[in-house]
Amino acid sequence: MNAEIVRLALEEDVGAGDITTEACVPADRRARGRFLVRESMVVAGLEVLDELYDAPTLLKRNGDLCRDGDIIATVEGPARLLLTRERVALNFLQRLSGVATVARRFVDAVAGTGCRVLDTRKTTPGLRVWEKAAAAAGGVTNHRMGLYDAILIKNNHISAAGGVRQAIEAARGAGRPIEIEVRTREELREALAHGAAHLLLDNLTPAEAKEWIAEIAGRAKVELSGGITLDTVRAYAETGADYVSSGAITHSARAMDISFRLELA
């Protein structure tokens, strides 16, 4: 899958050919290049270099904290190839390092609370595997990869099933662990009465979440979600929740500043 994503990225960027490079650079010229960090970050996505270059030299590992001036990898080969693939390599590295960096900030923000940070499915289409790997490199726990590997009953599922009880009873036939979102205290009590072992509480304030968790009293694992940011995640983590999840880890991570420097071999 990774190779196919890279192929599509190259096809999008190069098209019929890199006309600038082909016009300026002799076909037989060789060069070496360095991928250089320009700000503090957690690096991720280094595996993309294996898809783009022959035998890249990796000087850092996914999840490493890097500082301005660090070299994370070097490559060597035909100058035309290094130049043509530069932008695609940087797009992946910058994006994935951004995800890993935000993930680390979330993890650091809840340190000492005993609460674990989860990512979500709010990922760039086609890049979920890599973005979740980047989130894990930053220290968060991956939630489900897709709709196929875990049951998470949300509000619209409850409405379509006819209620909390009906949704839980029907889902048990799938033989998978069940997590269910509850929107009201009545739904909370109904879910607990029917054996729900993992509850999702969405869009509560930290104070409200603390009250609900006190009522749950350890009868189920609790995940909090809904607009949780770096500024608020510790307050949510301190409510006694087992997990907090945030789509911001993937959907709002900015590209980090990584550059490519080429010199003749």
Q: Which residues belong to the active site?
A: 87, 122, 154, 181, 202
- In angstroms, the Cα distances linking 252 to 10, 16, 98, 146 are 24, 33, 9, 19
DSSP one-letter code for 260: E
Contact between 73 and 35 under an 8 Å Cβ cutoff? The reply is: yes
Token pair for 251? 């959907």
Q: Which of 9, 16, 32, 19 is nearest to 94 (CA)?
A: 9
Contact 144, 121 (CB under 8 A): yes
Would you call 181 helix, strand, or coil by DSSP?
strand
User: Could you count the other beta carbons within 10 Å of the beta carbon of residue 17?
Assistant: 9
Cβ(165)–Cβ(189) below 8 Å:
no
Q: Closest by alpha carbon to 103, among 64, 128, 136, 65?
A: 136
Sign of CA dihedral 2, 244, 183, 174: positive
